[in-house]
Amino acid sequence: MPIAHETVLELDLNALAHNFKYLKSKVREDVKVMAVVKASAYGGDVVAMAKKLSDLGADYLAVAYISEGIALREAGIELPVMVLHPQSTNYESLVEHCLEPSLYSEFVLKEFVATADKLKQKDFPVHVKFNTGMNRLGFSEEEVTKVSSILNKTTAVKAASIFSHLSASEDWKERDFTLQQIHTFERIAIKLFDQLDYQPLLHICNTSGIINYPEAAFDMVRTGIGLYGFGNDKTEDQKLKPVGTLKTIISQIHHIKPGDSVGYNRAFTAEKPTKTATLPIGYADGIKREYGNGKIGVYINGQYAPIIGNICMDMIMTDVTGIDCKEGDEVILFGGPQHATDFAAAGNTISYELITGISSRVKRILIGS
């Protein structure tokens, strides 16, 4: 990896390829893969990663909002793109850019059918979401006939897929609940297939579903966090390669005396002669105040340096006593010697929040082919 000379988030496309191939190997060869690239590909570079995933053989991409899908289209990406949470005010734009909506209630389904009719569409692909226990979005099992009736009465749209979302597939203590979700989804699919004259694709597995319930892969699986190197399990984490490495440099080194304090609110006071390093990264970059005051540290020249004092908006101070380092040296926050899952846990959060929260002002650097 290149040596950092400023604050950067390195994104390893070879790691992305490894993760894609590993996850795909967990399911049958004929199962399609929907790669989730919402939130800038989980805090990365959405265009570069979407292009790489397309080259790797992804069948679909998924984003949260219409604006994210438009950005992919404007970058020349032609793969089918499902929009997980479209807003009806943007339906016309969605159709214009050939994006495919997730429709999860009678209101949004009817609104989209009306828009597709108005725009004289024929069999425009939509994805119908059913709620099997997450209780977030989705039609209920009791609404299957209502859904099929609406679909059968229009030629403007056609269900490309029927899907649901597992809420605890990473937790073996919730295995019975997960199996219940899968069985509910199977019942829904059977009822719907009986009432339609075609069979949409079926998908329910997320990353942890792929790993723990590959028998429920159906026609397609969706993977997000796994693509970026996190398997929601320490054993699986070892088989995946984190894509992102967050690096910065030492801005300045101080030698402080016993009794000297560091940073806002004098949150750290030296008890002995201490060598500190100030780093040009802070909570405005996504490293929140929760990580301050010794809860976690960084790596400098292969050695661990705890964060001291309160994290500032643009700066972090670390204790580098005993570490051979100088101003300008590279610093690794997560990636490399420190897994992002461990870093996140120190701030009482999860890898998802940490990696998607890295600010856009942090420069992204692509490495790998």
Sequence spans of domains, the chain: 31-228, 244-367
Are 248 and 287 in contact, with CB atoms under 8 Å apart? no
Edge-to-edge strands of the sheet including 303-308? Answer: 252-256, 274-279, 316-319, 303-308, 297-300, 330-334, 244-249, 8-12, 363-367
Alpha-carbon distance of 204 to 186, in angstroms, equals: 10
**Catalytic, out of 234, 264, 326, 363:** 264
Residues with Cβ within 8 Å of 337's Cβ and at least 6 positions away in sequence, in order, are 299, 302
Instruction: Please report the pLDDT score of residue 234 as a whole number.
Output: 87
- Identify the residue whose tokens are 């490309």: 160
Instruction: Please report the pLDDT score of residue 26 as a whole number.
Output: 97
Are 103 and 151 in contact, with CB atoms under 8 Å apart? no
**Catalytic, out of 24, 38, 129, 247:** 38
Instruction: Please report the pLDDT score of residue 37 as a whole number.
Output: 98
* CATH 3.40.50.12280 for the 31-228 domain, yes or no: no
pLDDT digits (tens, 9 = 90+) for 105-160: 999 999 999 999 999 999 999 999 999 999 999 999 999 999 999 999 999 999 99
- Same CATH fold, 244-367 and 31-228? no
Of the candidates 212, 219, 286, the one whose C-alpha atom is nearest the C-alpha of residue 246 is 286
Please confirm, yes or no, whether 129 is among the known catalytic residues: no
Instruction: Please report the pLDDT score of residue 232 as a whole number.
Output: 85
pLDDT surpassing 90 at residue 2:
no
Q: Mind spelling out the 3-state secondary structure of 167-196? A: CCCCCHHHHHHHHHHHHHHHHHHHHHHHHC
**Which band of pLDDT confidence, cut at 50, 70 and 90, is reported for residue 332?**
very high
Please confirm, yes or no, whether 264 is among the known catalytic residues: yes
Instruction: Identify any residues that bridge with 255 across adjacent strands, giving them in sequence order.
Output: 275
Alpha-carbon distance of 97 to 99, in angstroms, equals: 6
- The CATH number that domain 244-367 falls under is 2.40.37.10
pLDDT surpassing 80 at residue 1:
no
The CA R_g of the chain, rounded to the nearest whole Å, is 24
Of the candidates 118, 122, 84, 90, the one whose C-alpha atom is nearest the C-alpha of residue 104 is 84
Phi, psi of 45 (to 5 degrees): -125, 100
Distances (CA, A) of 210 to 221, 223, 281: 7, 8, 36
pLDDT digits (tens, 9 = 90+) for 26-79: 999 999 999 999 999 999 999 999 999 999 999 999 999 999 999 999 999 999
